[in-house]
Amino acid sequence: MEELREDHDDGTVARVAAIDIAKASGMVCLRVPHDTIEGRRTQQVWNVASTTNAILELGDRLVCQGVERVVMEATGSYWRPFFYLLEARGLDCWLVNARDVKNVPGRPRTDKLDAVWLAKLAERGMVRASFVPPKSVRQLRDFTRTRTVFVQERTRHKHRVDKALQDAQIKLSDVVSDLFGMSGRAMLNALVAGERNPRTLADLAKGSLVKKKAALIEALTGQFEDHHARLLRVLLGTVDHLTAQIQELVVPGIGPATAQIILAEIGADMSRFPTPEHLVSWAKLCPRTIQSGAKNTAGPAGQGNPWLKGALGEAANAAARTDTFLGARYRRIVKRRGHAKALVAVARSILVITWHLINDPDVSYQELGADWHQRHLNPARKTRDLVRQLQALGHHVTLEPATA
């Protein structure tokens, strides 16, 4: 135990513990006021195994010490047992970003020194808590993330099916838009069952594909052999299994899959994000401002939450093709900023709308219409932009106001 004399101010946390977490253990630093000497603090540092019993024992010890806050650095997924078990014990746990707790340059780094440094930052109120959703949202997140992984894996196996067909000179994907639609799947099953006659296979077409029978016969003429059928049987079985698992992981009572993912990633408590801008910044959907003197520049936004950004990206891509306010926003931005930045802008708008809908359950979404920007157009600004475009093309522009 070490005894340290330090000044106190109103911003400090009197009783704090910090944990530097590794794969199999965590280095704990406990800093509390001295029992008898005012203004002096005691510090204890010890190692704790990352087993359930050891962490629960640590929680009991910290509760007995009256610890007000437990701070730990996000390290892969190794922080989860410490955070969840100590949180369940009733302790106020904070997960902090590694970028915010970097050591001073030149300062030696060991697990013990890192834990002490983190504890000192925490007791002075110099760290910010990262967003960790409550247990119910974390459980929903487990389902939505697993389902997303299964969907991605199913897509990869569908591509492998097409590669196997291409290897057999079967060009079915050139004619059928969806290999796993009703007609395509019937033809695949027939190939696996031993049917090789292109005309017989083409007769399985349904709907609009019936008109393409000649093209289907040509596409189904190849060198499909028994080993292709065996490979296709395995791949189709895997696709069917993943489809069943995806259906098993559908979350009932919430709505479309995208809404489920967004809710699972940000939770239903918007008090963690005081404004929509806080949520957008956390999701890394806005550029980072870098200031040096009088110069302000925009830096990269960062990676953010890939699950949330993926769902918002899909939603933005779908909204961009609609005749709505979001679709019009995409079309306005894509002309000058490109496809990628326009999608990010629409995704940001969707997240802002989401914040308002979750933050106030009595609020309902009101579609502004595709002509909203046109109705709120600044005539002077639009005139200036058009004049500049004409001048850039080499024209001399003279404006004459229209008569009444």
393 found inside a domain: no
Residues 214 and 171 in one domain: yes
Tell me the CATH number at 106: 3.30.420.10
374 found inside a domain: no
Most confident of 105-119, 355-369, 386-400: 386-400
243 found inside a domain: yes
Residues 228 and 164 in one domain: yes
Q: In the listed set 359, 374, 391, which residue is the last one of a domain according to the structure?
A: 359
pLDDT, tens only, 39-68: 788 999 999 999 999 999 999 999 999 999
Is pLDDT of 253 > 70? no
Query: How does the average pLDDT of the chain come out, rounded?
Result: 85
% pLDDT > 90, the chain: 36
Residues 226 and 261 in one domain: no
Residues 160 and 221 in one domain: yes
Which residue segment(s) compose the domain that 335 sits in?
Answer: 257-291+298-359
pLDDT, tens only, 98-117: 777 765 566 667 888 889 98
Residues 243 and 263 in one domain: no
Residue range 338-362: average pLDDT? Answer: 87
Threshold 0.75, pTM exceeds: no
Residues 107 and 146 in one domain: no
What letter represents residue 223's amino acid?
Q
pLDDT, tens only, 10-27: 457 889 999 999 889 999
Residue range 195-204: average pLDDT? Answer: 93
The token duo for 319 is 């909204």
10 found inside a domain: yes
pLDDT, tens only, 287-320: 766 666 666 666 666 777 888 888 888 888 888 8
Residues 223 and 145 in one domain: yes
81 found inside a domain: yes
Specify the pLDDT at position 69. Answer: 93
Number of folded domains that form the chain: 3
Residues 166 and 264 in one domain: no
Residues 112 and 17 in one domain: yes
Q: Choose the weakest-confidence range: 68-82, 192-206, 230-244, 277-291.
A: 277-291
Residues 284 and 334 in one domain: yes
Residues 178 and 272 in one domain: no
Specify the pLDDT at position 261. Answer: 81
pLDDT, tens only, 134-189: 887 888 788 888 888 998 999 999 999 999 999 999 999 999 988 999 999 999 99
Specify the pLDDT at position 5. Answer: 37
